Amino acid sequence: MKAAFLDRDGVINRDLGYVYRREDFEFLPNAIAGMKQLVSAGYRIIVVTNQSGIARGYYDEETFQCLADWMCEALAAEGVPVLAVYHCPHHPDGVVQRLTKVCDCRKPAPGMLLRAKEEHRIDMTGSIMIGDKQTDVAAGVAAGVGRVFLIGSLRAYYSGADAVYADLLTCSEQL
């Protein structure tokens, strides 16, 4: 099985900084259409998202999970099944003591992707990672993902990504 590993904030939804409430969640233009294209191309959608707001005490894991569940339901209603959502609640500068640490899951570390590989038997070389930051590229490369793409500003072109596209739909149309 091949997967499209997608970062959440800045790829699927507008990155407003620590998005944890449904009323603040806004799908980016062309994100749903891009995910539909990925599904049509045979990719299973797996979301991998750093959520340091949990370690920083801005919201808790239950609040994050409620939003993730709602997002998956909204995407399923649009014909985009999400296989899994993985999140990293850690941050070395957090205030929630049990989550304040350096871990192997916070991107740029590959832990979330490797966990998905094991749990879902993912063919990493046939898979892709799409993010909007250098940490997404580094996590994809470290996990052995076949191709890594950035969306957003072309300033990120020299990041080690295989290519940079304006948005998720433009990226998915090139695969």
User: pLDDT tens across 38-54, in order?
Assistant: 999 999 999 999 999 99
> Band of the pLDDT at 155, cuts 50, 70, 90?
low
Mean pLDDT of the chain: 95
The whole-model pTM stands at 0.96
pLDDT band of 157, cuts 50, 70, 90: low
Residue 149: which pLDDT band, with cuts at 50, 70 and 90?
very high
- What residues form DSSP beta bridges with 157? none
- Which residue has better confidence, 21 or 155? 21
Can you tell me the distance from the alpha carbon of 119 to that of 122, in angstroms, rounded to the nearest whole number? 8
Residue 158 pLDDT grade (very low, low, confident, very high; cuts 50, 70, 90): low
Instruction: Estimate to the nearest angstrom the gap between the alpha carbon of 114 and the chain centroid.
Output: 13
> Distance between CA atoms of 45 and 11, rounded to whole angstroms?
13
Stretch 76-97: mean pLDDT: 98
Return d(Cα 143, Cα 68) in angstroms, integer.
23
Binned at pLDDT 50, 70 and 90, residue 152 comes out as confident
Q: How much is the average pLDDT of 21-29?
A: 97
Q: What is the DSSP letter of 163?
A: E
Q: Which residue in 50, 49, 57 sits closest to 94, CA to CA?
A: 57
